[in-house]
Amino acid sequence: MEEQGIQLIVGLGNPGPQYAGTRHNAGYWLVDRIVERAGVELRPDAKFQGLLARVSGDGGDLRLLKPTTFMNHSGRALAAVCRYFDIRPEAVLIAYDELDLPVGSVKLKLGGGHGGHNGIRDSMAALGSRDFWRLRIGIGHPGAKEQVIGYVLSRPSRVDMDAILEVVDQAEGCLPELLAGEYQRVMNRLHARP
């Protein structure tokens, strides 16, 4: 049986030029890539506290969201869009930076905990559910817990940035399968990477 496809992709990040190239904005980069390839435009929408775009295709409409509430309050924008468009958590994909995955890796999974990620923690609370899809974009770990905040809010090296953007491209290339609910096929493609 085919599962329901993704209807909303949320990229987590922090708004403003000072955060644009930082590791914590890896989720934004996926939404930016999809928008660029689809030839649509993200538009500010005050009622959704974020930038929103729509891509229309054979499988219906896909909404794209970049919350502008700052990472710790990402759930506000996400919940507002889900309520307005009547989108269930299982049809949501949240893309975000993952400290526990090496740079150049990406993992897709349904449900789970927040793993200490404040954007995911807030999204779970706002949705009242943990049963949404997550695209975890590996940014590596600085090695010590006390270095994490500075690390995620700093820019990756050119080599690391290229590796992160390569997996963002690969995830964007899986969009047709995500929209069709072919999650196992996406996992097979993305998780096969070294």
Q: Which of 24, 114, 117, 191 is catalytic?
A: 24
Residue 123 has a CB neighbour count (10 Å cut-off) of 29
The annotation status of 72 as a binding-site residue, yes or no, is: yes
Phi, psi of 136 (to 5 degrees): -95, 115
Do residues 155 and 164 touch, judged by C-beta distance below 8 A? no
d(CA 14, CA 153): 9
Query: Partners of 107 in the beta sheet?
Result: 136
User: Is residue 143 classed exposed, middle or buried when 0-12, 13-18 and 19+ CB atoms within 10 A define those classes?
Assistant: exposed
24 is catalytic: yes
Place of tokens 């890896």: 26
Query: Annotation-wise, does 118 bind a ligand?
Result: yes
Residue stretches of the annotated binding site for tRNA = 19, 70, 72, 118
Residue stretches of the annotated binding site = 19, 70, 72, 118
Active site members: 24
